[in-house]
Amino acid sequence: MRKLTPLDHDGRARMVDFPHKPDTKRRAAASGTLSCAAATLEAVLEGRAPKGAVISTAELAGVMGAKQTSSLIPLCHPLPLAKVGVTITPDASLPGFRVSAETVTTGPTGVEMEALTAVSTACLTLFDMLKAIDRTMVIGEIQVEEKTGGASGNWTRGDSTSQ
């Protein structure tokens, strides 16, 4: 099989063509955090955030972000997403929010970028909705947690047998 690269023979960027790769079911999970002041987390949990339903709005924004990945990331293929789920969990130990996303498709390429974009968009939306009460927030630790499907097989963060 030829090497898949986004560069042509002259070094110009191009979208990779992979006609030899079969369609398979693929899944990716990603996570991230938004750390904030304890009072900010408390305001959200008590429904006192100035912009309203912070968590549900940010979860929806994450789903919408995943669907726009190919428009945001150069050379990223548009994928028919079968599932996008975003969950935001308040965490007093940060304090802040833990954001997770799951994406699923059937196709010739993975959905890691869509999961990462979902988490990033949800975190950015949390920041936007809370910046009026907290300018000290920090978005961090955005990472792929696992992926399944495709020729490279399954991978889970922290699994010493995974590459």
The residues annotated with a catalytic role in the active site are 128
Radius of gyration of the chain (CA): 18
| Residues contacting 6, CB < 8 A, separation 6+ | 13, 14, 15, 16, 75
Pairing of strands 155-156, 24-35: unpaired
Handedness of CA 7, 29, 85, 96 (dihedral sign): negative
Place of tokens 């833990």: 98
